[in-house]
Amino acid sequence: MSDAMAVLPKLSTGLDVNVRFTGVTDFEYTPECIVFDLLNIPLYHGWLVDPQSPEMVAAVGKLSYNQLVEKIIDCKHSADSSRVSEGLVAEQFLESTATQLSYHGLCELNTTAKEGEISVFFRNNHFSTMIKHKDHLYLLVTDQGFLQEESMVWESLHNVEGDGNFCNSDFRLCLPPERSPAITHLPASSQEQQRQIDQDYLVAVSLQQQQEGAPGPLSDLELARQLQQEEYQQQQQQFQQPQQQQQPGSTQTPRQVRGQGSQQARRKEKDSDCVVL
């Protein structure tokens, strides 16, 4: 009990465990394992060597992970070619099972775990809560990304790739909520552009609704002409206000007025031919 109490403060930072590749319950004994024994909680892993590969079985043997890494380093610096080959085979095993789970280990897990048993599963240097329900293994979903997804409670463990199915608390299949890929998976700059496009669309819809007697949706050309016409009217109003404020004794000549009027006519004709897309 005193040894277990000394280990409990380490739970917030992690536990030191060292797997052996001979069985799903085979771990090198460390003081951290006392907690699991005291609470009667099974500790499993699925990092096993395939017995159908005799070379890998001979290279790995009953060594733990730390011992196997030391063996690989020693074999690489050995002058014996057979030991060098054995070290390469052991290194190949670690590379081929980099996810710390093999199909042979997955089969052994299904055989060893008991129905309805709550256990701890060690993989990728992490501990997960595991349960066996109707001959299927499930891991408790604890990823931060699923914090707001209340319906996702369990994830099935049926392959090495890690693309399991999500289930609710009753182990019923549930699908992730639909998200717009155009918004969710875009970078921040693209999301800002998408929001600007949405705002422009709302403005276009508002202008379309304000147009009386419109038989149908505005085309891009018609919308551009309408925006250009509104801008032209605003410029006309700004120009006419100073003209209305002029005194009767103004020194402005009719020629100047005609010149400005002709310039406005040319500008109006130019604006009518200009289309903003």
Q: For residue range 134-169, what is the model confidence (pLDDT) as tens digits?
A: 989 999 998 888 788 888 899 999 888 877 888 988
Q: Are 155 and 168 in contact (CB under 8 A)?
A: no
Question: Around Cβ 239, how many Cβ atoms within 10 Å?
Answer: 11
**Eight-state DSSP code of residue 42:** -
Q: What is the pLDDT of residues 36-67, one digit of tens each?
A: 888 899 999 999 999 999 999 999 999 999 99
Write out the DSSP string of 137-194.
EEEE---GGGTT-TT--EEE--SSS----EE-TT--B-PPPP--HHHHTS-HHHHHHH
Q: What is the mean pLDDT of residues 167-180?
A: 72
The per-residue pLDDT for 224 is: 63
Q: Where are the alpha helices (DSSP H) in the chain?
A: 2-7, 33-39, 54-60, 65-76, 81-96, 103-112, 181-184, 188-210, 220-244, 254-273
The per-residue pLDDT for 147 is: 80
Q: Are 21 and 48 in contact (CB under 8 A)?
A: yes
Tokens 């006519």, residue located: 265
The per-residue pLDDT for 201 is: 54
Q: Are 103 and 162 in contact (CB under 8 A)?
A: no
Q: What are phi and psi of 70, to 5 degrees?
A: -65, -40
Q: Are 98 and 161 in contact (CB under 8 A)?
A: no
Strands 18-19, 154-156: pairing is unpaired
Comparing C-alpha atoms, which of 239, 229, 227, 230 is closest to residue 264?
239
Answer whether 0.85 is exceeded by the pTM: no
Q: How far is CA 65 from the centre of its chain?
A: 31
Comparing C-alpha atoms, which of 42, 141, 22, 186 is closest to residue 93?
22
* Per-residue pLDDT at 10 exceeds 70: yes
The per-residue pLDDT for 190 is: 56
Percent of the chain with pLDDT over 70: 65
